[in-house]
């Protein structure tokens, strides 16, 4: 659906990373973990296109005035990377923006009787909080959060509050272990004695490594991808990614916005 949303708050949670809370229409409460929204940061023609953002959380907002009616709201966790996100970070509570969503296919939560291993890199944590919130209702959940420095490790307290056990690794050692978070993931997989599945979102290199680990340990792995997209509804075909059968001679492209953004890791062509 397409709707005008009112910003409830917009806060810098770590240098360069922002968390925005926005109102949503009733139907939005049905948004699934892993789905995303396309946001128009202003009504001018620069920036021209909407920007895609993962849905960080879906909650209920009760306006602070007498007789107020509860309504759904949602949150986005975003990083300022260019003109569009810089403009978004300049917006304030009560500003209105145009939103399209929830869009795409989210995560499949899988069977309850297995351990859920969530892997997030930097702003890749954005779609993973709502996922963790759903998963803790049925399973044991562990989060592996990685980043270059401590500034890239976001909202860990929120995950801990859900009862998720969190492992943190930074490349410069400024928070948690020094190194890549995939090392902690591998350690966990070596010691685990029950069924498990992996859910990951982050930079392509990290997802590629996680997909490789999942294959090595023969456990199901879902990844949430990013893509340059204009429309978010499967029309522009800008955001395609190679599928596992992809070769230049026999192309196999998947549309990130409409067929994803969540894919089974083994459906994708990682070497392409």
Partner 1 sequence: MKPDMTVNIAGMSLRNPVMTASGTFGYGQEFAEYVDLEKIGAFVTKGLSLKPRAGNPTPRIVETPGGMLNAIGLQNVGIEAFIAKKVPFLRTVNTPAIANFFGYTSEEYAELAFRLDAIPEIAALEVNISCPNVKQGGIVFGTDPKCAFDVVSACRKVTTKPLIVKLSPNVTDVVAMAQACADAGADALSLINTLTGMAIDLQRRKPVLANVTGGFSGPAIKPIALRMVWQVARAVKLPIIGIGGIMNATDALEFILAGATAVQVGTASFINPNAAEQIALEMENWLVKNNVASVHSLIGALEC
- Reduce the DSSP state of residue 260 to 3 states and report it: coil
Q: Residue 137: CA atoms inside 13 Å, Cβ hemisphere, count?
A: 7
For residue 136, state whether it binds partner 1 (rule: CB under 8 A).
Answer: no
* Single residue of 8, 49, 186, 189 touching partner 1 by CB under 8 A: 49
Return the closest-CA partner of residue 197 out of 218, 212, 177: 218
For residue 237, state whether it binds partner 1 (rule: CB under 8 A).
Answer: yes
The β-bridge partners of 39 are 51, 99
- Could you tell me the smallest distance in angstroms from the CB atom of residue 234 to partner 1? 5
Given the structure tokens 């892993």, which residue do they identify?
Answer: 34
For residue 35, state whether it binds partner 1 (rule: CB under 8 A).
Answer: no
Q: Residue 247: CA atoms inside 13 Å, Cβ hemisphere, count?
A: 3
* Single residue of 16, 25, 47, 269 touching partner 1 by CB under 8 A: 47
- Could you tell me the smallest distance in angstroms from the CB atom of residue 267 to partner 1? 16
* Single residue of 91, 162, 168, 231 touching partner 1 by CB under 8 A: 231
For residue 233, state whether it binds partner 1 (rule: CB under 8 A).
Answer: yes
Report yes or no: 194 and 115 within 8 Å, Cβ to Cβ: yes
For residue 63, state whether it binds partner 1 (rule: CB under 8 A).
Answer: no
Identify each DSSP E strand in the chain by its residue range: 2-14, 17-23, 36-40, 51-54, 57-61, 71-79, 96-103, 115-121, 141-147, 165-170, 177-178, 196-201, 221-224, 240-242, 253-255, 262-264
Build a one-symbol-per-residue string for 80-109: x at contacts with partner 1 by CB under 8 A, - elsewhere.
Answer: ------------------x-x---------
* Single residue of 26, 46, 60, 65 touching partner 1 by CB under 8 A: 46
Give the integer Cα–Cα distance in Å for 272 and 269: 6
CB-count exposure of residue 203 (10 Å: 0-12, 13-18, 19+): middle
Q: Which listed range, 24-32, 116-124, 129-137, 235-243, lies at the site for partner 1 (CB under 8 A)?
A: 235-243
Q: Which listed range, 12-20, 134-142, 182-190, 252-260, lies at the site for partner 1 (CB under 8 A)?
A: 252-260
Build a one-symbol-per-residue string for 145-164: x at contacts with partner 1 by CB under 8 A, - elsewhere.
Answer: --------------------
For residue 203, state whether it binds partner 1 (rule: CB under 8 A).
Answer: no
Crossing angle of the two packed helices 204-216 and 181-191, in degrees rounded to 10: 20
For residue 227, state whether it binds partner 1 (rule: CB under 8 A).
Answer: yes
- Token pair of 205, please? 């290199």
CA 19 to chain centre: 13
* Single residue of 25, 150, 236, 244 touching partner 1 by CB under 8 A: 236
* Single residue of 252, 267, 269, 270 touching partner 1 by CB under 8 A: 252
Interacting residues with partner 1 (CB under 8 A): 2, 40, 45-50, 98, 100, 227-231, 233-241, 251-253, 258
């Amino acid at each position: 659906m397409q709707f005008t949303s009112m910003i409830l708050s917009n806060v810098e949670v770590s240098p360069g990373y922002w968390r925005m809370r926005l109102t949503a229409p009733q139907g939005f409460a049905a948004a699934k973990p892993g789905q995303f929204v396309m946001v128009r940061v202003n009504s001018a023609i620069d920036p021209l296109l909407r920007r895609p953002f993962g849905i960080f959380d879906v909650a209920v907002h009760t306006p602070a005035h007498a007789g107020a009616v509860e309504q759904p709201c949602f949150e986005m966790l975003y990083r300022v990377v260019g003109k569009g996100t810089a403009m978004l970070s300049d917006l304030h509570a009560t500003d209105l923006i145009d939103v399209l969503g929830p869009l795409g296919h989210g995560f499949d939560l899988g069977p309850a009787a297995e351990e859920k291993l969530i892997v997030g890199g930097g702003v890749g944590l954005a779609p993973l909080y709502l996922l963790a919130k759903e998963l803790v209702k049925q399973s044991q959940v562990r989060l592996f959060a990685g980043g270059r420095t401590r500034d890239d490790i976001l909202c860990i307290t929120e995950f801990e509050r859900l009862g998720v056990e969190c492992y943190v690794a930074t490349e410069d050692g400024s928070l948690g272990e020094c190194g890549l978070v995939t090392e902690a993931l591998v350690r966990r997989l070596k010691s685990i004695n029950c069924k498990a599945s992996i859910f990951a979102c982050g930079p392509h290199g990290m997802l590629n490594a996680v997909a490789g680990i999942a294959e090595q340990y023969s456990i199901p792995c879902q990844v949430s991808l990013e893509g340059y997209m204009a429309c978010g509804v499967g029309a522009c075909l800008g955001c395609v990614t190679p599928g596992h059968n992809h070769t230049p001679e026999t192309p196999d492209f998947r549309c990130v916005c409409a067929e994803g953004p969540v894919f089974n890791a083994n459906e994708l062509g990682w070497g392409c």
